[in-house]
Amino acid sequence: MNYVEKLFTGSEEKSSKKKSGTSSKKWAILSISSIPLVMTLGNSMLIPVLPILEREMRISSFQSSLIITVYSVVAIFLIPIAGYLSDRLGRKKVIIPSLMLAAIGGLIAGWATWQMTNGYWLVLVGRALQGAGAAGSFPIVLPLVGDMFKNEKDVSSALGEIETSNTLGKVLSPILGSFLAGIIWFLPFFSIPVFSAISIILMIFLVKSPKKKEEEALPFKDFLKKIRMIFTENGRWLYGIFFIGVILMFVLFGILFYLSTILETKYGIKDMKKGLFLALPLGALCLASFITGKVIKQNQVLMKWISFSGSLLLGLSIAILGFSDKLWYLISVFLIGAIGIGISLPPLDSLITESIEKEERGTITSIYSSMRFVGVAAGPPIIAIMMKNSEQMLFYLLTGLSLAASIVTLLTIKPTKKG
């Protein structure tokens, strides 16, 4: 009799474990994944459109690059604050108003390009508001996923899907941006409120915030002390991951800006055709992220070596990028480098999310996201300046930074779990 009871209770436990995994929360994960998708579209979608903005608004390539940079600079400073607030108030209470702010920023930028003759500065204001919205939405996704699952394997799997959504946004961005700009050149700005509204609806109805323990919020001074203690105990690998995140985003957005510019100026490829060319390496990046997220699970040793290999592959691909100026060669080599970036990002997300306690997870992951935005902000303007002076030096810089990221991975990340 006891044996029969054990059979039934055992099967019930197994089925409940299955239901408690990522499959039971697939709609919530899908809804949360819409946030990085929307935020990535809101920024990356404008990269192939920058040459059109330069013509229509009569601005320089450096000024057009600032349309990307101002979004990221604002996000850099506000992300840690948003992370702290999400730890105190709850993830959804920060994410939903932030998505609304991003929508308002998109409307302002769109109106300025549509109705004003010299609307460049108001476009920057709208982009700054979008950056503030991005600060309180995309970075909060990582700790929200960490809160939703008790099993670290489920966390890694869900984070792989989130990173894939982020990279999928990068794949769709050049195609969608070029397509919309082909209809009306300022239409990409007006698409941002529409995408944000969809994400808001999904978050309200399909995502349930994990129940918070009834306990008093830590005073701000004590909270800062706890954060300092985390960095004292884990500083070596945390700083390492922050550095790698900056480099990967700097190289990615720098190369995207470079490709977008030369495809139009050197090869005469414009509009949808240019978007499709840019989507090829980004598609490889997306697929690499998805597969990596499924493979790494809880194995921190594997996470380290995959991230190291990805940065090394990126560096080697950029090193040979200048050997030929043929278009097929350029796209093929960057496709290899994009795979390197794609396999490096999910392990970094998992390492930082799984290693920090829930109470401080929002703040630490937000600082990490802020560091990634440093790379996004710095890439386009620095590449714009270097393209005017020496393309060869540009390749040397990006190669050196990518190889530095692989060395930092090797020296600073010390895995504790083999899975």
pLDDT, one tens digit per residue, over 342-352 is 999 889 988 88
pLDDT of residue 212: 57
Give the chain's length: 419
Q: What is the pLDDT of residue 362?
A: 67
Lowest-pLDDT range of 28-32, 151-155, 327-331, 401-405: 151-155
The residue whose two tokens read 């990805």 is 310
pLDDT digits (tens, 9 = 90+) for 4-25: 444 444 444 444 444 445 666 8
Q: Using a cut of 0.85, tell me whether the model's pTM lies above it.
A: no
Burial (CB < 10 A; 0-12, 13-18, 19+), residue 67, is: buried
* Architecture of the CATH domain 27-205+226-412: Up-down Bundle (1.20)
Secondary-structure breakdown of the chain: helix, strand, coil percentages, each rounded to the nearest 5: 85, 0, 15
Distance CA 322, CA 338 (A): 16
User: How open is the CA angle 125-44-256, to the nearest 5 degrees?
Assistant: 120
- Cβ atoms of residues 307 and 347 within 8 Å: yes
Interatomic CA distance for residues 250 and 358, integer angstroms: 29
- Alpha-carbon gap, residue 142 to 139, rounded angstroms: 6
**Sign of the dihedral through C-alpha 160, 165, 171, 173:** negative
pLDDT at 191: 93
Q: How many CA atoms lie within 13 A of 104 on its CB side?
A: 11
- The closest alpha carbon to 368, from 36, 37, 79, 149, belongs to 79
Token readout for 52 is 């059109």
Between CA 386 and CA 396 the distance in angstroms is 11
Tokens of 32: 């949360």
Higher pLDDT, 8 or 119: 119
Does 416 have pLDDT greater than 80? no
CB of 114 closer than 8 Å to CB of 187: no
pLDDT at 286: 83
Give the torsion sign (CA, 83, 401, 168, 183).
positive
Contact yes or no for 344/311 (Cβ under 8 A): yes
In our burial notation (b when 16+ CB lie closer than 10 A, e otherwise), range 224-252 reads: eeebeebeeeeeebbebbbbbbbbbbbbb
Per-residue pLDDT of 220-244, as tens digits, reads 677 677 778 877 777 788 899 999 9
| CA 113/CA 123 separation, integer angstroms | 7
Average pLDDT over residues 98-111: 95
| C-alpha neighbours within 13 Å on the C-beta side of residue 137 | 30
Question: What's the mean pLDDT when you consider all of the chain?
Answer: 83
Distance (Å, whole) CA 83 – CA 98: 12
Q: Count CB neighbours of 354 within 10 A.
A: 18
The domains of the chain are located at 27-205+226-412
